[in-house]
Amino acid sequence: MKVIIAEKPSVAREIAKVFGATTKKDGYMEGKGYTFTWAFGHLLQLAPPQEYGFYGWNVQNLPMLPPKFKLSIRKVKTKEGMVDDPSVKKQLDIIKGLFDEATEIIVATDAGREGELIFRYIYYYLKCKKPFKRLWISSQTDEAIKEGFRNLKPGSDYDTLFNSAHCRSQSDWLVGMNATQALSLSSGTRAVLSLGRVQTPTLAMICSRFLENKNFVPQLYYQAAIQVDKEGQTFRAMSVESYKTKEEAQKIIDDVEDVASGFPTGGYVINVEAKPRKEPPPLLHDLSSLQQEANKKKGFTADQTLTLLQGLYESKLVTYPRTGSRYIGDDVFAEVPALLAKFTNHPDFGKQANLLLQSKLNKRSVNAKKVTDHHAILPTGETAHQLTPDKQAIYDLVVGRMLEAFNQDCIKEVTKITVESGSKFTASGTVIHTAGWRAIFNEADEEKKDEENASLPKVVQGEHLPVTNKALLEKQTKPKPLYNEASLLKALETAGKEIDDEELRYAMKESGLGTPATRAAIIETLIKRDYILREKKNLVPTATGLSVYNVVKSQKIAQAELTGTWEKRLEEIRSGASVADFQEEIKTYTRTITRELLQAGTLMKNT
């Protein structure tokens, strides 16, 4: 008997379906001589410090460097403290039973570093010795699964991938556990002051933006504005220059040849530019972009959106939620017309779905090369019954985005009018000719500047128009805004883009800080530690957060670059480089940062 093990039940079910296996058992399925079982993500984790004899939180134990890491069952929090998660324990027992019976194992966890780790941790924890092969597919359509099974790889092909995954895991443990205890113990507070490769740079981003914003000194500047009249329709034009002093701007105002100053047509149109502009539809959603949009439009936190979306996924209404890809492959695209047809009776989107079915679909979101473990989020087309208002809101964002993404470009005309009246003034305006994808939600362009006119009257070069009003405007330069959940998620995704070192930047380009599956949890961790709090929609540091930031801000652990350095080394390990060298470096770094924090934390008492 061959056992196929997937990362999660939904994938195991998909594969079983392709094989025509339909017999459902407790924790697995079977049929056609195969059994199909699954994990629920990581079932096992590196064992906590006490399992290596490091009891309590004690400076004597630091740095904790276990000679050999152990694995333990994922824990769950109960009234009695942390205990083995019973559902995990049960599933592991089921897997063990199946592995014991197996002649061969086929590894069908997600095709990536963590997927490999999920399987290997189970395999080694169960002390299993059965031979295994690897299914490596990047899309879960029937055809992709069949092709993958025709092309199974030897399990050992992925040994170096496991090595890199195991190193990632150990390194995060060593640095995180030791740094956390070192800072917590030396600070003298009884609180847990956690630090980690991902959470600490995230905290640093929030704190540094907060301080920059708080210490920002606004600069005053001045601009002149005029109101021009074209046959009763007026528009506002701004001085091309802005001025540091009021006097300079007043001079521009004084020179304006307005009606009140005795010039009936003192506005000379010296130029009219009208350019059509195509605006392509947005890409389909990945988790992060959906979390950002839901935060902007509905005020949901990243964590709320993930929970709601997981609920929709479990009711089979949307595809896999924790994806980092905004694309679909050609195989999924082929199903899109049938999918759209399921929404032609939708109360809000029905009309748009019908229209879209009659036109050529935009393929901007179709790119198989940009589909990683999972494709972009789509509705499945199953009928939704009685969703809670919040779930409905998320579902509608997913459906609406699908309709946008396959829609036509929005065609705009951007007009710029230059008027001379003493000096030069410009007015710009945008008119939408063909709404295209913008018809779906029918919302104003959020990027539209407040100075922009919604629409401008038709004027031609050479016209002399009356200037009916003028004003001197006092303005202030603005600081970068505080982070909110949407802007922080985006910053985490792109963290590393500004790294100077080209190799580190490259190593981080696909990853950023954290992963789609973990970013919401990172924000919640910082809140739980009382490092940050939500103030309206903004994320601002607390006094505790700021004092931790002050202690670590110039250390490596507070820089996104640390992830870049690790990613570069982990990729080298995946290509066969020495594991021992990197492990030795991490140990050395662990000793250093532990020593530094044991000293630095004492400073916190005085801040």
Site pattern 10..49 for DNA (x: CB under 7 A): x-----------------------------xxxx-xx-xx
Cα gap 163→541, rounded to integer Å = 37
53 near DNA, rule: CB under 7 A: no
Residue 279 contacts DNA per CB under 7 A: no
Using CA atoms, how far apart are residues 104 and 395, in angstroms rounded to an integer?
Answer: 41
Interaction of residue 547 with DNA, rule CB under 7 A = no
Among 133, 209, 322, 375, binds DNA (CB under 7 A): 322
> CA-to-CA distance for 582 and 402, rounded, in angstroms?
44
Interacting stretch for DNA, rule CB under 7 A, among 4-12, 132-140, 266-274, 434-442?
4-12
Residue 185 has phi, psi (to 5 degrees) of: -70, -45
In the DSSP assignment, the letter for residue 452 is: S
514 binds DNA (CB under 7 A): yes
Structure tokens at 233: 């329709």
Tell me how far apart the alpha carbons of residues 193 and 607 are, in angstroms, rounded to a whole number.
Answer: 15
Does residue number 177 form part of the binding site for DNA (CB under 7 A)? yes
Using rule CB under 7 A, residue 89 touches DNA: no
Taking the complex as a whole, the smallest distance from the CB of residue 26 to DNA amounts, in Å, to 14
Nearer to DNA, 141 or 223 (CB): 141
Interface with DNA: number of residues (CB under 7 A) = 54
Least separation, in Å, of the C-beta of 475 and DNA? 41
Distances (CA, A) of 594 to 171, 178, 183: 14, 6, 8
**Distance, CA of 110 to CA of 125 (rounded, Å):** 19
Cβ at position 111, least distance to DNA in Å? 11
Smallest distance, DNA to C-beta of residue 528, A: 7
Q: Which is nearer to DNA, 141 or 323 (CB)?
A: 323
* DSSP H or E segment with residue 222: strand 220-230
Nearer to DNA, 114 or 229 (CB): 114
Tell which residue, 320, 336, 306, 317, has the closest CA to residue 377.
Answer: 320
| Active site positions, annotated | 320
Residue (of 351, 321, 356) closest to 336 by Cα position = 356
Contact flag: residue 377 with DNA (CB under 7 A): no
Candidate residues 35, 139, 186, 194; the one interacting with DNA per rule CB under 7 A? 194
Select from 35, 26, 32, 42 the least CA-distant residue to 5.
35
Which residue stretch of 259-267, 347-355, 382-390, 519-527 sits at the interface with DNA (rule: CB under 7 A)?
519-527
Q: If you write DSSP's letter for every residue of 30-86 in order, what string do you get?
A: EETTEEEEE--S--EEEPPGGGGT--SS-GGG-S---SS--EEEPEEEETTEEEE-H
Asked if residue 78 binds DNA (CB under 7 A), the reply is no
Catalog residues that contact DNA under the rule CB under 7 A: 7-10, 40-43, 45-46, 48-50, 54, 56-57, 74, 81-82, 87, 110, 114, 118, 168-169, 172-173, 176-177, 180-181, 184, 190-192, 194-200, 310, 313-314, 322, 514-518, 521-522, 525
